[in-house]
Amino acid sequence: MIKTRLIALSSIFAVFTALGAQFAFYIGPVPITLQTLFVILSGFVGGFRVGLLSQLIYLAVGLAGLPVFAGFKGGYMVFLGPTAGYLLSFPIAAAIAGLIYNPVSSRSIIKALLACILAEIVIYSLGVPWLILWFTNFSGLMLSEAVSRAVIMGMLIFLPGDGLKIAIILYLLKRKEFLQIIIRARA
């Protein structure tokens, strides 16, 4: 029963992440999407295991060629593109969010905020260096230019949207109905 719930909940969040990827707004090589909202929520709702497994399922399905990544892309070539570092960070970020936030032991909104921020730091910590590497190897930019472009186009432009996604998550956590869903999912 527990394994069935784990697989079902993980699959649901893999689908949510795939749907979030399709709300893509391209302003550079890395699109603005709703993926990170569902990455963090997968850890919050299901905990460490669901967060990790849901994002591994998402990556595996995309790697297998299904068009689940932004712009309805799929296949191994996406993992050679500018978004690869961000994608690979999703399982780690979701797992960290699930480890830090536990609705039963602590309903602290500060702890939830910390989990969101740390998850975002993980995403940027893998995404931006990969983008620098991508700029230098595939776009022919010098390292200094690649670093500045990656920081601007791979992090700074995302901060307002990520702040909004975090605000949405914190709002949901204040709702008793949503909190009950989380408690039931983690039981």
The domain 2-186 is placed in CATH, from the list 1.10.1760.20, 1.20.1050.90, 3.50.50.60, 1.10.1740.10, at: 1.10.1760.20
Q: Which two tokens stand for residue 1?
A: 């029963």
Segment 83-121, tens digit of pLDDT: 999 999 999 999 999 999 988 765 688 999 999 999 999
Q: Which two tokens stand for residue 105?
A: 């032991």
pTM as predicted? 0.94
**What separation in angstroms does the CA of 100 have from each of 58, 59, 82, 116, 180?**
22, 23, 29, 9, 18
Segment 30-53, tens digit of pLDDT: 999 999 999 999 999 999 999 999
